[in-house]
A and B are shown apart, each in its own frame.
Chain A
């Protein structure tokens, strides 16, 4: 927390600050928490003077109001989208995944989420020459796989090493670890050269550890993560992609069958529902939701992935495209 000294307010001269320090009022928060009359007695300032300092602080640190045109100007000065390097997907996304926001990648087990994550990391480093942070929660990051993809692209060894050097991996196992690492990046204890993208693969692996607990610790940690992550995204102008998983639910609509209408053609209507995990809170968090679906008829080393854009601030939702993989390369 910032000290009062850093305010540089004309009323808070040396003498006043010293008497405040004696009363253990050092930070701005201490000042706001303290009773106004007590402050007035201690500093020998009038009540209105104390109030003016208070208002000065509140003005300075409250959320600012920005007009529409200024906002638009700010938007224009920064790039808004991070190209994924996958042409068909970029087309469907109107250019790429949003910078400064959290996006979500969702799908059933084995549908290619991790593969997609690898490709995204590679493309980001290759085209933009920027760093990617891959937060691995289940030991799924395979450097051998990444190297094979690069090899199949026909990239020479030196360049391959340079690209792989710019992909940073951190292996974590609990939600506390995740909150810790995000906090360290936020406080610049861990720094990256030109970070562009952060991939969290996968969030449910961490969150499911809190399932069945009566307390809401998991949810609280998820909330901290989301807040810190949003701060990081806008402060450092990076994109975050969180991998989420899908589960299937089956609704059995047993229709009321009248006795006289009973015949063999009446069947139970079975509806398969896809459900994004991580609970109701998370549903509203990501600005972009990409759903992957593996097509069933896959040949060895060559298959198709259907992509649906389910939620987006910039694009019409329910846009679809088909990605293909060959020799491990997703395009």
Chain B
């Protein structure tokens, strides 16, 4: 089985995000990059699927800058067989990213039997690439997947919906599966795994190599700004019984006129 995993590298969740000087993107120089947490579930599910199907390979694909390749190396150290990096320092939109991933998968010479992705990236939260990629490849896709069983190329997928209920889907390969938290427990990259990862193949392509140009851009990012600072909370002293009635009236007045919640 040819298993593909698409991963994104995102700022560490503890990173303090600030817009860059001209507001066209975020300041990236001081960011510590990690693999998108939802993509870790995708890598783990790919490795589990490989373990259950001898002779399978796991190829991990990423679109992004070359400078920090931590996410790809982590996936290789966890046990993926090879990696493809489509280089781009630009801030791509979802359509361009999906098209680049499609191009990279096709360029690998292997037809994808299954593609695993995270359900969303935690940086821009677009939730578009998995569905766009499946659409471009004309294969079915299921997202928010929390249960995945495979038997001879057919997947039984459980998907979370409103109210904690589960929808169950039967999907035949080839298919795209977008993974959610709860699907599995991602393994650690072992130290021998980290050493072995050095010798695993990593192909590099430009955007042009995979057929993507700026003409594919659907969304132009015009401005990044921080949300307005929250004003400090108000404290009311009402220990003294004599003032309690007037304090309550004041609080109600503020809730009605200032906060406009009642």
- A and B form one complex: no
